[in-house]
Structure 1
Amino acid sequence: MKKALEILNLNVWFGEEPNRVDAVKSVSFAIKQGDSFGLVGESGSGKSTVLRAITGLVPNWSGDILVDQKQLGAKRDRAFYKTVQMVFQDPYASLHPRHTVDRVLSETLQLHGFGDIDTKIPKLLDDVGLSAAFRFRYPHQLSGGQRQRVAIARALAPEPEILLLDEPTSALDVSVQAEILNLLCDLRAEHNLTYVMVSHDLAVVGHMCDEVAVMQHGAVVEMMTVDKMRQQQADHPYSKHLLESSARYRA
């Protein structure tokens, strides 16, 4: 099966010498179409910065990023955003407080050249488990889980092949997290989506992903399958520490 996304020797840095900070160091991985890949590590390990580099949200990076086997340049064009969309951690911050759900989805559909918007919006809402009654509500009229469903609907609107998921449930109540994760699993199967998921929660990654890269201080220290992770079979000391900490937390 073809590679949906390939990262080769990705470096990301902030500032200039002598104050330069290297946030991502020589990160490489590849994801086949339809797979779900996890980036795990503590806060500050560089995992979210990898997603921001893919989407063009960081100014200084080097290496190769290939989407659908085509190399990305310095700028991201509209074709890129039809293929790759991102779901952010905080659904309240990522939705305009004065825009209704209808406007959020309409503007995204129009931007990507879709017609028949009145038909597409109810379908998008249905895809994420919301009724048409939510169409003209504002973000402050929605719960955290409902806001994240709208954010997912917005990401689905351009009919992308790849979703980048940056801690998509960490800002939500525990009772809602499982609902959103199950929704994402269903959407991946239904639309044959490829996922890159960032999380500090190994249980979430274990539920969602096929393969995992463990990051520490900006570098990937270990790659492992989720089966290996579940069996606590890490090789690198930091990966072992993460797994042991997660097991103690769940206990």
Structure 2
Amino acid sequence: MSAIDIRNLTVWFGHGADRADAVRDVSFEVADGESFGLVGESGSGKSTILRAIAGLVPTWSGQMTVAGETLGPKRSKSFYRKVQMVFQDPYASLHPRHTVDRVLSEAMQLHGVRDIDTRIGRLLDDVGLGPGFRFRYPHQLSGGQRQRVAIARALACDPAIVLLDEPTSALDVSVQAEILNLLTDLRQEHKLTYVMVSHDLGVVGHLCERIGVMQEGRFVEVLSVEAMRRQQAEAPYTRHLLESSINSIR
């Protein structure tokens, strides 16, 4: 069974003469437990797909079935227990006046999670932060530590699917590898399904099995990461991306 099944998805902004289609007739599936990447240049529609799945963009057509639920204009509470999202900027996604404890507690209270105190300690261990980080504020954390908190918040309600919107692009290169390794370990431990957006083919090659290549809101092709590493792309645009990134994916 597919964890995610997207059919003929079109997403737009504006209306009438001002309408602009950001995603155009996109279809793809993500198997349960798979990690699927979306790549392409800025403005190609990658992040818009994630936001449409998460219910952050109301103007869309097509069919989306996620975690067994056929999606409509609004997302159910149960949807957000099954599907969570990690954003690009770990500082902007955390309330500056809330401690790590409050960030994680509120996420669990919202979804009726029990034994919050014990679970917070376990979450901090899972993401490589000890109990000493529990009552710190975002400004007291490094970028990598803030992203670890954001990942812990996404896992607070024990989701099955995590949407990753460029989760390492705002971090130093040395920290990027640590976060990617963490995401790899968490996926195995928690049996997660990932959809990851990135402009960096090296990042996608580290975490994903397949990638969908996007250009101007459309899918150019879908290929395996192994085919990507062997430079076995069919579309000229994909070959161009690979040639530009050849050093990062080897």
TM range (shorter): over 0.9
Moved over 2 A (4+): 248-251
Q: Give the match for residue 6 of structure 1.
A: 5
Q: Deviations over 1:22-75 (max 9, x none)?
A: 000011110111000000000000000000000010120001110123211110
* TM-score in terms of structure 1 length: 0.98
Q: Deviations over 1:76-130 (max 9, x none)?
A: 1110000000000000000000000000000001000012111110000000000
Matching of residues 21-100 of structure 1 within 5 Å = 21-100=20-99
Matching of residues 1-251 of structure 1 within 5 Å = 2-247=1-246
% identical equivalent positions: 70
After TM superposition, the structure 1 stretch with the greater mean CA deviation from structure 2, 69-78 or 209-218, is 69-78
d(CA) in 2 for partners of 1:12, 1:159: 29
Q: Is the 1:167–1:198 Cα contact (8 Å) retained in structure 2?
A: yes
d(CA) in 1 for partners of 2:222, 2:10: 18
Q: Is the 1:24–1:50 Cα contact (8 Å) retained in structure 2?
A: yes
After TM superposition, the structure 1 stretch with the greater mean CA deviation from structure 2, 66-75 or 121-130, is 66-75
Cα distance change of structure 1 residues 248 and 115 upon mapping to structure 2, 3 Å threshold: closer
1:165 CA displacement: 0.3
1:135 CA displacement: 0.2
d(CA) in 1 for partners of 2:157, 2:247: 41
Which amino acid is 2:6 matched to? Answer: I
d(CA) in 2 for partners of 1:112, 1:81: 8
d(CA) in 1 for partners of 2:127, 2:228: 29
Q: Is the 1:36–1:197 Cα contact (8 Å) retained in structure 2?
A: yes
Aligned residues: 250
Unaligned runs of 5+ residues in structure 1 are: none
d(CA) in 1 for partners of 2:91, 2:183: 19
Unaligned runs of 5+ residues in structure 2 are: none
1:249 CA displacement: 6.8
**SS of the residue 1:91 aligns to:** coil
d(CA) in 1 for partners of 2:68, 2:115: 31
